[in-house]
A and B are shown apart, each in its own frame.
Chain A
Amino acid sequence: MTMAIVTDSTTTLPEGVQERPDLLVVPLTFGFGPDETYTDKVDLSNAEFYEKLKTSSRFPTTSQPPTGAFVEAYESLDAYDDVLVLTLSSKLSGTYESALSAAGMVDRSVEVIDTKSAEMGSGLILLEVLRVADEGGSFEEVKRAAEGAVRRCGMFFAVGTLEYLEKSGRIGKAQRLLGTALDIRPVLRLEDGEVVPHKRARGRKRQMASIVDEVKPLIESGSQIAYGQVNAYDALSDLRRELGTSGRFVAEIGGVVGSHVGPGAYGVAYL
């Protein structure tokens, strides 16, 4: 029995994973207006993306992959018996729906899992899935491992401004952080795949401190962690120093998730 993994481009692919033949990535796209679209993590380097973010008069928009892209992916993996699909949170994107309806269009064994996360979070879930698969787990065992990882995986992140989450409609329950008269440095988390407010902090130091307060005990109790950032190198290196671990990997968050959280965002996922 052999199996392949399909995921979307918002999942961070840690080093050593990208070259695997049994892994296929279906890209999302983002753009600044109808005539200017880019394939996530392919067309633009991160530096180019942030430059566009800064200079474009438009807010970026993102698009889920068409169902056909998933159909093609599933069909191209006909050398494998089963396909496990890991998608971006269904609360943040229609990608899951797209992958699911594609599964109904092909005559093969496809299991679609909503990671309820993105980037470094879905990256950690992917690593867990690959570990169980590589250890010889059955498709059923791998699927159960994925579901367990989705339940345990969490993410805390800081944004420079709530503007991008608001404009992109991904703000979720963090909506109530809007309209704060003073500049706040929000700390958010993903809960059941949705962006929820964790804390309003005043000042960058306290913003980071409140992430550290949450994540430090998780590290001490043995959770794996992974970092991610959108043009926030300094903040991220401070966070790594505070948490005392370099984590499993650091995600260069791509244009799609970057369009939602905006520049200056950074965070940490745990599993």
Chain B
Amino acid sequence: MSRTAEHREDGVLPTSELKVVVGAAYAALKARAAKIDALNVYPVPDGDTGTNMLLTLRSVMEAVSASPDLRGEAAAKAVSRAALMGARGNSGVILSQILRGACEKLGHAHSLDAKALAEALGGAKERAYSAVREPVEGTMLSVVKDAAAAAQALVEGGKSDPVEVLREAARAAHESVRRTPELLRVLREAGVVDAGGYGVAVILDALRASLAGEELVIDGDDDEAVPNEGLLKNTVEHSAEEAWGYCTEFVVNGFYGDAEEFGAWIHEVGKSVLVIPDDDLVKVHLHTQDPGGAISYAGGFGRLSGVKVEDMEAQTRARVEHEAREAPTVDLGVVVASRGAGNRSFFESMGAVVVEGGQGANPSTEDFVRAVAKAGARTVILLPNNKNVVPTAEQVASLVEVEVRIVATQTIAGGLAAMVGYDSEGEPEEVVDEMREIVSGLRCGEVTRAVREARVEGREVPEGAYIGLLDGEIVAVEQGVEDAAIRLVEKMLEEGADVVTLLRGYGMDEGSAKGVAEKIRNLDGAIEVEVKDGGQPLYPLQLVAE
């Protein structure tokens, strides 16, 4: 079936068909997500571009499935909003703006012809560029720009076949992806192409195939994207940390087999796992993205009963809609993105609503919108606590009715320091100023681990090495976590400090953290040092000097 230029007075983009088109794009991107995740510039474990783009499309897919009778402007609006609600991370937000820009044009079209598609790509480009304060070439922005220009040129050259327009756009996009390392030094140094740009090209391929009524062949070998295999392993691991999925429950009756192996497997594939043995029964509860896989695995250990699978995203959505109706009751609230049990309790004890997410598992715009509703305040301050979460947080203001102020914290430790300036009973603008002033005086350090060998800013980083980042720049590369921390601390304190806070995460034991604290005291006895057990993953240590 071909979905080409039929004239419709009531608009194009019927959601019933969009479901198929977006589904195709989703499937194509999903097949490539791990690969895109792996196209990671910094050898730190934040390669989640593919996952983030996928989640944006997933949200769109669900929205069009939920409302199968829309078309024209209404359908365009539904898609734009769903994309934004699902947007996580920089790449997710830019993709949502690409979709929005395209939908704004297509929403007014009466036929899905060549000209309309070229205009849609033009709209996508415009929105993508305006979503970013300082557009950088060699990223998904360049790719969508080149695709739009190629489509436009084709239409101006008199071509009228819409499928051909998309084919040309996809071709130009792939070519543009290959050029990204020429445009961006960090890509060149890391020896990769831009991950988000590659994702855009993959989506265009899928749209072209879907419009032509073809089945898209997803082969394993792409010319332009050839990341290191070792990295793939790592990224699969952290995409499993995503919170969404299906709440799955069942009972295994007459359990036989290795209970320990069974438990370990369930823990491996799930989150919020409960495995409760009772006589020859085992009750199981887990959150997973693959309930079918878990159920069929468990079927090998006995007969199953009480199988229940619930889509937590649907539950969440219902709750959001309910919560959003509640009017704010207080003047000022604060919402933070954070990871780790310790960190959560610190923020909550200071009056914050915590959105779980950050490095490796970016929270979505929707997560923030929900948390803002929960804060129940007329003005809500957002602390992203991560560079990659800032763009998501920035979208929130347009989706909620209350005032939103962002204090652009870059690390969890920095966010905690900023919270010291938070006063729920203060004058909102004064509190925001106070918190921003604190942040401007912070130096933020992080110790993390290289997930692959790399060369960054002229420095060799072996796989598995501990990296010390100071305000985002690599200042230490060491084999041991404590060595990296100490080297980082020496750099951090070159300009002196009054107070240093250490936030211990996975991968650093208490003794090491205390050793680092002792080192700081030895460097300068007047410095007050505080060690907290944050429990964040991926960062054995975060530090903040004030």
Residues of A within 8 A of B (CB): 173, 176, 179-184, 197, 200-206
Contact = CB atoms under 8 A, between A and B. Distances in A.
Given A182-B419, A203-B498, 6 more contacts: A181-B346, A181-B419, A182-B501, A201-B420, A205-B498, A206-B546
Contacts of B393: none
Nearest to A183: B530
Contacts of B438: 202
B499 interface: yes
A179 B420 contact: no
Interface stretch (B5-13, B21-29, B262-270, B421-429): B421-429
B539 interface: no
A179 B349 contact: yes
Interface string B496-533: 00110100000000000000000000000000101010
B347 A181 contact: yes
Interface residues of B, number: 21
A183 B528 contact: yes
B499 A202 contact: yes
Given A176-B425, A205-B498, A182 B349 contact: no
Highest count of chain B CB atoms <10 Å: which of A181, A183, A200, A205: A181
A206 B501 CA distance: 15
Given A181-B347, A181-B416, A176 B530 contact: no
Given A181-B532, A182-B530, A183-B530, A200 B425 contact: no
Closest 8 CB pairs of A and B: A181-B346, A203-B498, A203-B499, A205-B498, A202-B499, A179-B349, A200-B420, A202-B546
B498 A202 contact: yes
Contact of A203 (B349, B423, B424, B546): B546
B218 interface: no
A200 B346 CA distance: 16
13 contacts: A180-B349, A181-B345, A181-B346, A181-B350, A181-B532, A182-B416, A184-B420, A197-B423, A200-B423, A201-B420, A202-B417, A203-B498, A206-B498
A154 to B, nearest CB: 19
A206 B421 CA distance: 13
A184 B528 CA distance: 11
Interface string B395-435: 00000000000000000000011011101110000000000
Contact of A200 (B421, B424, B546): B421
Interface string B279-313: 00000000000000000000000000000000000
Contacts of B416: 181-182
A200 B424 CA distance: 13
Highest count of chain B CB atoms <10 Å: which of A176, A182, A203: A182
Nearest to A179: B349
Contacts of B350: 179-181
A56 B350 CA distance: 31
